[in-house]
Amino acid sequence: MNYQRQRNKIHVKKGDLVKVISGNYKGQTGVVIKTFKRKKQIIVKNINMKTKHIRPKQEGETGQIVRQEAPIASSNVMLYDADRKIASRYKKTKNSSGIYERRLIKLAKSIN
């Protein structure tokens, strides 16, 4: 049997501006902080905030309640253009210097 290892691909990268398209945070935008390719999940800044209770480690310390981002499925977000306020899928196009760049499909249609 020939078992090939499946490569998980995520359509967003660290630093991308995304818009949440489903779930409790639908309609909100944020920047991708971290990606988990194996789980196909991402962490978006100030989206899906959870509270974490931290107990004191040493004597004399007090416990804390910390709010931090939890991962969400990458399928629940789309790339977002803040200037035109459009969320869209993307396609890869070659520019004049031969380098591939990602271009939003809805933007390409509105320009042409």
pLDDT tens per residue across span 10-38: 999 999 999 999 999 999 999 999 999 99
Q: Give the tens place of pLDDT for each residue, 63-106.
A: 999 999 999 999 999 999 999 999 999 999 998 999 999 899 88
Q: Which two tokens stand for residue 85?
A: 């306020």
In this predicted structure, what is the pLDDT of residue 8?
A: 84
Q: Name 26's Cβ contacts closer than 8 Å, sequence gap at least 6.
A: 20
pLDDT of residue 111: 63
C-alpha 17, offset from chain centre = 8
Nearest Cα residue to 14 out of 37, 35, 36: 35
Which domains does the chain possess? 17-84 (2.30.30.30)
Q: What is the pLDDT of residue 6?
A: 75
